[in-house]
Amino acid sequence: MLTRLESRAWETPLYADFPRAEFAGRVQKMQALMAESGIDVLVLWDEKNIRYFTGYHNNLSQAGSFQTATVVIPVERDPIIIVPDFFCGVAEGYTYIEDIRLIVEPHVTANVRNIPAMVADVVKELGQGQGRVGMEAGSLGGMMIPRPLNDIDRFRAELDGAQFVEAGDVIWKLRAIKSSAEVEALKQATRASIDTYAELAGAFRPGMTEKDVGLFIRQRLLEKVHDCEPPLVTASSRRIPMYDVPAWDDGIPLNPGDRIIFEPLPSHKGYYGSCCRIFNIGPLSDEVQERAELVDRVQERAIAAVKPGITTGRLWDVMNEGFQEWSNEPYVFDQGGHSVGLRIHEPPMIAKGEDLLVEEGMVLAVETWTIGKGEGRDMGPVFGVEDYVVVTSDGADVFPGFPKEQRSLGSDWRR
């Protein structure tokens, strides 16, 4: 059963990520795109879409036993949010939405299975039981409806007179262009990575393991930003290639000559920053230095090519051409970056053969990688770099990054 909150406890939410105008602007732009695409009502289940349009989020989205929120956006009316009754305060604390619907006894399995019917009833209440209902599906992917398939089948069955249309690509058309507030959140998260690298450089000591370094990075990031995914920390001494979070055992020591990949994933207001760097343990050999500089040059060439109207596939071609020109070898990866935001990877991808256009206001992670050949299944030497850029009217502005010339930890530590 759904009940409607009679009145909000606070007119202005106490903990909103952004001002009212930011969220109102997003909804208005979405409604304009809906009208243009012939969508009468948009139903959102994906937690990132819900946060984008309303600011609502919580730390139980992974529970799986119940739906933490569903949002219905009509083309000509204000949004409606549907939440478990015990999350009423969360909706009031994070969102500006006036129409808050509450699911009574939301842990009871029969009630959970009935959520699709409750949401469908809201769509009917809006007069769209036979309208065009937008769903989070489309060619670009990147959205997830966290409900069992039978729940979505039930939702469709409850609206058997409606026409369901793919709205995912329309949503990405809006989300791909970042506002100044979003850009600042991304920059703040990225600065946390940069500052943490500087702290690690000062704190690194012989005898540290991959686990020690991974925990150091995670703890320092959490002192600076709202949240942090387990950071990607991979030592070259792993026996097989594993581009992964740290192995949380104590069996991977860091020794002179090893290389270690860092891709911290801090988030600020839900927006993920990153600044991928690879460090040598101890001094670099001439061969390693030359390879690291090659990767940097290819990335710089790609960043110089970023501008509105270029395809992301063409940016990958620029990387490939750089490797071929400067090392007589093709680019080994099928991707060289992606858009960023409330997800770590968002479309468009900078990848081989992509035909999506770069647009002003996008924030792209531009990354280049190369891997040498190891013995057997051992990981060969890995070289890579990643930086964010925001696309301007005639090019791109690069986010601040950790100095690339600082390539080693324990530079005076030798075998």
**Cα angle, residue 338 at apex, residues 35 and 307 outer, rounded to 5°:** 80
Distance CA 361, CA 176 (A): 8
Domain with CATH 3.90.230.10 in the chain: 180-409
pLDDT for the residue 333: 84
Residue 40, both tokens = 């009468």
CATH class (in words) of the domain with range 180-409: alpha beta
- The whole-angstrom distance between residue 326's C-alpha and the CA centroid of its chain comes to 32
pLDDT for the residue 66: 84
Are the CB atoms for 71 and 82 separated by under 8 Å?
yes
pLDDT for the residue 373: 61
pLDDT for the residue 250: 65
- 203-242 pLDDT, tens per residue? 999 889 888 998 899 999 999 999 988 777 777 776 665 6
- Considering only CA atoms, which of 170, 157, 161, 168 is closest in space to residue 132? 161
Handedness of CA 30, 31, 34, 36 (dihedral sign): negative
Residue 10, both tokens = 């606070």
Residue-by-residue DSSP string for 353-380:
T--PBP-TT-EEEEEEEEE---STTS--
- Considering only CA atoms, which of 297, 300, 334, 294 is closest in space to residue 317? 334
Report residue 267: phi and psi, to 5°: -135, 145
- Considering only CA atoms, which of 291, 313, 272 is closest in space to residue 385? 291
pLDDT for the residue 319: 97
Under DSSP, the state recorded for 178 is: P
For residue 398, the cross-strand partners are 389
pLDDT for the residue 50: 98
Q: Tens place of pLDDT for every residue, the chain, 415 residues? A: 899 999 998 889 999 999 999 999 999 999 999 999 999 999 999 999 999 999 999 988 777 778 999 999 999 999 999 999 999 999 999 999 999 999 999 999 999 999 999 999 999 999 999 999 999 999 999 999 999 999 999 999 999 999 999 999 999 999 999 999 999 999 999 999 999 999 999 999 988 988 899 889 999 999 999 998 877 777 777 666 566 566 566 668 888 988 888 888 999 999 999 999 999 999 988 988 999 999 999 999 999 999 999 999 999 999 999 999 999 988 888 999 999 999 999 999 999 999 999 999 999 999 999 876 655 445 567 789 999 999 999 999 999 999 999 999 986 665 5
For the domain covering 2-175, report its CATH number: 3.40.350.10
Domain with CATH 3.40.350.10 in the chain: 2-175
- 139-196 pLDDT, tens per residue? 999 999 999 999 999 999 999 999 999 999 999 999 999 999 999 999 999 999 999 9
Verify cis geometry, omega within 30 degrees of 0, for the bond prior to 264: no
pLDDT for the residue 377: 47
- The whole-angstrom distance between residue 407's C-alpha and the CA centroid of its chain comes to 27
Distance CA 301, CA 307 (A): 12
Distance CA 239, CA 223 (A): 33
pLDDT for the residue 62: 73
Verify cis geometry, omega within 30 degrees of 0, for the bond prior to 348: yes
